[in-house]
Amino acid sequence: MKNEFVIFKILKSVLLALALLAFTFVMVFITGTSEFFFSKKDNVEIAKDTVIYQKPLWQAMSMDALVHEKDPELIKYGKELIANTSVYLGPKGKVRAMSNGMNCQNCHLDAGTRPWGNNYGAVLSTYPKFRGRSGSVENIQKRINDCFERSLNGQALDTNSREMLAIKSYIEFIGQFVPKDSIPAGTGITKVKNLKRAADPVRGQLAYEQKCVSCHGQNGEGVMNAEGNAYTYPPLWGPHSYNSGAGLYRLSRFAGYIKSNMPFGATYDKPQLSDEESWDIAAYVNSRPRPSKDLSKDWPKISAKPVDHPFGPYDDGFSEEQHKFGPFKPIEDFKKAKNKK
């Protein structure tokens, strides 16, 4: 039986490789290489008040393919943990109380599979990788724990725990067709065109009250489910929301996420908000109170900080206020000019 399984795995790998090669040739022939894969450097899509045009977009491996996996139950558990994190690891978690009540899926939509919904399509293909925030090479486990400690304002998972192995296995499963070091179209978050002005929390509050209150509440408190163990709609600020170290606390990341996914029913190709509304809502939400995190060890190389990292020190002479709300183009231009010297 063991030999038969090994032979089956080898045949599966060969068939998957041949299928991927054939698919790649077909798509390159139809669309051209630049439309099929982004390089790491070019994985940004400028969102005008129109739709994103890059195709074909990454699609996650179907869960139907689990029949070919060695441990399908572990992968299923990983997906369940992504979709319903709080049920297992929230304040009333079945396994352990170690996070704020939000789910991984609140930020990584459709269990990390939605195009331009902060999905996991390029995780397996790009990790381990160097990350400027920590100043070190990080593996997938480190990246997962960053989310637990920042977006879920909780504690790190034991890297040998079944929960960590399950989440990692699921992420690897859905991204297994992506070639190493490539980033398919549709992964990550949309890059919204910079405003010529600073993003405005006052305008953002008006837009929030018109477009967001019905799900997230007047005070950003979200909506708890009937069982009281997870949020149906997550809190956007307050003690149970993401902390100041989360990726979405950077305005460009949050504005892009909002643009392609909010309010409920919006998609990357059918957005419901303008670029300005997306920036302003992000500014309003991120100006509200939330848990803080010690970021003293983040960005050890100060010059590598993104233009919208909202905490100093900086090496460019621009204020913390401008780094938080913009306008960002003057900072970008300064950095480009400095790098040319």
pLDDT band at 339 (very low <50, low <70, confident <90, very high): confident
- Provide CB contacts within 8 A for 217, sequence distance 6+: 223, 233, 235
Q: Give 9 or 193, the one with higher predicted confidence.
A: 193
Look at 56 and 168; give whichever has higher pLDDT: 168
- Tell me how far apart the alpha carbons of residues 302 and 247 are, in angstroms, rounded to a whole number: 17
Task: State the DSSP H helix or E strand holding residue 191, giving kind and residue range, or none if neither.
Answer: strand 191-192
Segment (H or E) for 216: helix 213-216
53 band by pLDDT with thresholds 50, 70 and 90: very low
Query: Whole-number mean pLDDT of the chain?
Result: 89
pTM for this model (two decimals): 0.84
Task: Give the pLDDT confidence of 76-88 residue by residue, as tens digits.
Answer: 999 999 999 999 9
Question: What pLDDT digit, counting tens, does each position of 9-40 carry?
Answer: 555 555 555 545 544 444 444 344 333 333 34
Q: Which two tokens stand for residue 16?
A: 């998957």
R_g (Cα) of the chain, nearest Å = 21
Span 294-311, average pLDDT: 97
Percent of the chain residues topping a pLDDT of 90: 82
Residue 184 pLDDT > 80, yes or no?
yes
Please give the structure tokens belonging to residue 294.
């010690």
